[in-house]
Chains A and B, each alone.
Chain A
Amino acid sequence: MKYAFFPGCKVPYHVPYYDTSARLVLKEFGIELETPEFNCCGYPVRFLDFRAFLFSSARNLALAGRSGLPLLCLCKCCYGTLRYADQLLRNNESLLSETNHRLAEEGLHYPKRPVIKHLLNALFEAIDPETIEKKISRPLKKVKVAAHYGCHILRPHDMVDFDDPVNPGKFEKLVAYTGAESVDWVLRKQCCGDPLWEKNKELSMELANKKIADARQAGAELMCVGCTHCQMQFERVQAEEKAGTEKNFQLPPLLYPQLLGFSLGLDGKDLGISLGIMERLSD
């Protein structure tokens, strides 16, 4: 299987270990990546300018279309945005022809049926539940994890495609492959608060802290996430609260490919897992 890799803007500088760990893990499952030069998905300007958002998304999908490959996102906000744009374009002829007109200026055109997947989709499809146990050389038996879904992989369910928006279970299943235990917590499907970080920090922190407290109460030691923005949010909220290092974090966030990679026996350092978390995982 081969994908056009869409790491998203926040990954290269803010969360580079998402990129490295995802690549390492995908390789383990024989998934190859091509890296066309994509642009911003458009998510950051959705509130500002609908057309700018739509064109940004469309251009990415046209680039993926040109490579003839399905697109693989790391960030759920990118994922949700691209899926949303695709739905709009496919159901609105005038928007589509207008977009195609603009794309044609650089020799691109909107593909017929773009395939857009998130890393979790791709892994869920690539992992064979029958044989995965054999691959897990370092089962994380004692680790209790809060699987944090992230909004845009679940909602709106008619736009995105991962799991049942009301009672999802795929992420917990993915976590279970690593040997770790997923705790049952109330706020697992709720927003991490990231979208308001620069807009209403107080509210943003409150929402994140609520989630952290809820997951802690359910017995979690780690928050497992599959989204760049969620990861950033849980990192900085706790860094701000504790004004210190990750050691003081109440609930350190860990990206799913890091968790899976570690259980597959990959080097924690290569996966970008901090020493503190590595200790917890190796206990």
Chain B
Amino acid sequence: MIFSIALYLSLIIFGLGTVYKILIWFQSQIGGEAGPVSLSTRVSAAVKGVLQTLFSSSLGTSIKIFFLDVLLQRRLFKESRLRWAAHMSLSYGFILLLLMHALDRFITKKLFAEYAATLNPFFFLRNLFGVMVLFGIAVYVYRRLHDRVMRLTTRGVDVYALIVLALIILSGFFLESSKMVSSQRYEEMVSEFSSITDDKEAAALKAYWAKDFGVVFPQPPAMDSDILKKGQEVHAMNCISCHSRPNSAFLSFGLAKMISPIGLSVGQKGVLNFLWYFHFGICFLGLALLPFSKFFHILTSPLMLVINGVMDWAKASPANRATVRAIAMDACTHCATCSLHCSVEPIYREMVNPRILPSEKLAAFSALIRNKEKMGPDLPFIDEGDAICTRCYRCTQVCPVGIFLQDLWFRLGEDLVQLGCPGPFSKTRKESTARFDWDRTKPVAPMNAAKKQFRQDMGLSSQGSTFNHCFTCMTCSNSCPVVVNYENPREKLGLLPHQIMHSLKFGLQDKTLGANMVWDCLGCYNCQENCPQGVRVTDILFELKNKAFQRGKSKDSDLTTAGGRS
């Protein structure tokens, strides 16, 4: 009764959750190319797209993709043999357990008239499939603990998935082994299924089961070869049609041996019931929450792979593109393959902003779409991550589920602009140039500790301090293509390169960081190349931008003292 209620309840939640998710696919607006499109237009565009695929040569392609990429998981195979083996083992182990074991009433029993859970090959296979799943879990846990990138990208969703899977399988194994040692269960079975009336026969069977089947009795039955022989005969008469030898269930039987010292306690009816409820409870929990967990990829990843294989992105309607982008958000398994290969991952190591890593940026983007208001504090990090991404395309190429990540990054960039996030360059430029003081009538503040400090700190590249050699010959300014581009460069650029070099000698922070020249520098090295004094002019301008950026990052940004020009 409870079983059925729980099953139907979790099926209903699963169904509703899936419908809800699909509705979101057709409503979410990622990429505003077409503006808001009605739900019906979106659905009809999708139906049209699917029909077009079904009645064209793309059908063959989709079948091929389904076979190679979904069933055989080719993309994962290319990525890593170990991960492929683990995922194949886990997914097929689980699917087979589901079909053969969980749905035995509907499938296995129908196919095999003599089916009994404790009969071979089912007895053995259930253990084998369980071990396959455990192997997959073990590899995944190992990766998440051992690999640096995996460790730092592991989040609640990943832990939840691994824990749920592990609990399902382990509770199954414990349930089976507890049943094996349980004398109460044994007595129940004997009274229900055997035709034994004779006490001697009963004692013989007990002895036989205690020895070969691992049942732990309160009073260990007497055993000698005659009794056991007799027991074997009774077993053959009564039990053998449903019970294969337990060592076929190799893991459960091993466990049963291990727990046999406490066999009497764990074999109690209450314990068995608890384990049984726990086992199916966790299964139903997993089922009910499937659309909201990363297990949803079981449905979305195959869909994504096929779409990715047949969809011509350039020709697809904006409505369909938006829908596919929304599916992509759900298809991401958060496997972090993208982050493992990310071109700017080494930059992450120095700048320590997780939003630099594609897997984490995608999660943030997904959250951003769901709720723009809530993202406030995270926005600068997403903005920085987006700016640092070089759009190198590698994440798209390696994604095991075929998400067109490159497109999503372009859309994220657009969204950020709309949200008033101009990227760290423009932001820092704005902050810095706002502090540039044009007023020449104010007295110059005398040299102070802060200015000295600023001047001293120049030299990140170990060459910053070369400004000291500047004798203001203006060669740098005259050879600068940006300076030359303007009729009145000082008005546009604030300070020219030679003036910046000179200002540095006086530790003028706001002046040097705030000059437009610093921010309009091309980095073309004409100035540095031509400097007769070997001043690293271009490198210094790079360093000033670094300084401004660091200043923007640190909370106590005001390093200069108040009063006068600095």
Q: Which residues from chain A sit less than 8 Å from chain B, CB to CB?
A: 9-10, 12-14, 37-40, 42, 44-52, 55-56, 59, 88, 91-92, 95, 102, 105-106, 151-152, 154-157, 165, 190-191, 193, 195-196, 198-200, 203, 206-207, 210
- List the B residue with the shortest CB-CB distance to A48: B549
Contact: B391 with A14, CB < 8 Å? yes
Sample of 19 more A-B contacts, CB < 8 Å, known A151-B523, A157-B529:
A10-B392, A12-B393, A39-B343, A40-B347, A44-B344, A44-B390, A45-B388, A46-B542, A47-B549, A48-B388, A48-B545, A52-B347, A52-B351, A55-B350, A155-B529, A156-B525, A195-B523, A203-B485, A207-B482
Report the separation of the CA atoms of residues A200 and B481 in the bound assembly, to the nearest whole angstrom: 14
CA distance A49 to B348 in the complex (A): 11
- Given A12-B393, A45-B388, A91–B462 Cβ distance below 8 Å? yes
Nearest-CB residue, chain B, relative to A155: B525
- Tell me if B317 is interfacial: C-beta within 8 Å of chain A: no
Whether, in the assembled complex, B394 has its beta carbon less than 8 Å from a beta carbon of chain A, the answer is yes
Contacts of A156 in B (CB 8 A): 525, 528-529, 538
Residue B519 at the chain A interface, CB threshold 8 Å: yes
Bound form: Cα–Cα A13–B341 in Å:
16
Q: Of the candidates A14, A151, A154, A200, which one forms a contact with B520 in the assembled complex, judged by CB atoms under 8 Å apart?
A: A200
Q: Confirm or deny: B108 has a beta carbon within 8 angstroms of a beta carbon on chain A.
A: no
Is B19 at the interface (CB under 8 A from chain A)? no
- B346 proximal to A (CB < 8 A): yes
Q: Compute how far the CA of A95 lies from the CA of B519 in the bound complex, rounded to whole angstroms.
A: 27
Give Cα A91 to B536, complex, Å: 15
A40 and B406 CA atoms in complex are apart in Å by 16
A95 to B459 CA separation, bound complex (whole angstroms): 12
Q: List 10 A-B contacts (CB under 8 A).
A: A39-B346, A47-B545, A48-B388, A51-B350, A59-B346, A106-B148, A151-B524, A155-B529, A200-B519, A203-B485
Is the pair A47, B542 in contact by a Cβ cutoff of 8 Å?
Answer: yes
Closest Cβ–Cβ distance, residue B27 to chain A (whole Å): 29
* Count, A-B residue pairs, CB within 8 A: 132
Q: Report whether B529 and A40 are in contact in the complex, using a CB–CB cutoff of 8 Å.
A: no
Does B543 touch A at the CB level, under 8 Å? yes
Residues of B within 8 A of A95 (CB): 462
B: residues with CB less than 8 A from A are 148, 341-347, 349-351, 388, 390-394, 397, 406, 423-426, 429, 460-462, 481-482, 485, 519-520, 522-526, 528-529, 538, 542-543, 545-546, 549
Say yes or no: A12 contacts B462, CB within 8 Å: no
State the CA gap A207–B525 with chains docked (Å): 15
Interchain CB contact (< 8 A) of B461 among A88, A102, A105: A88
Q: CB-CB < 8 A to A46: which residues of B?
A: 523, 542
Contact of A48 among B426, B461, B526, B546 (CB under 8 A): B546
Which residues of B lie under 8 Å from residue A102 when comparing CB positions? 349
A37 contact set on B, CB distance < 8 A: 341
Chain B nearest Cβ from A81, distance in angstroms: 10
Chain A residues whose C-beta falls within 8 Å of the C-beta of B349 in the assembled complex: 52, 55, 102
Whether the Cβ atoms of A49 and B481 lie closer than 8 Å is no
Q: Are B394 and A12 touching (Cβ within 8 A)? A: yes
- B347, B393, B538 pick with most chain A CB within 10 angstroms: B347
Q: CA A172 – CA B396 in complex, angstroms?
A: 38
Whose C-beta in chain B lies nearest to the C-beta of A151?
Answer: B524
B345: chain A residues at CB < 8 Å are 39
Q: CA A152 – CA B392 in complex, angstroms?
A: 21
Assembled-state Cα–Cα distance A156/B526 (Å): 8
Taking a contact as CB atoms under 8 Å apart, the answer to whether B346 and A13 are in contact is no
Most buried by B among A46, A49, A91, A198: A49
Whether A47 contacts B425 by the Cβ 8 Å rule is: yes
User: How long is the Cα–Cα vector from A105 to B147 in the complex, in angstroms?
Assistant: 12
- Nearest CB on B from A54, distance (A): 8
Q: A47-B545, A48-B545 are in contact. Are A12 and B424 (CB under 8 A)?
A: no
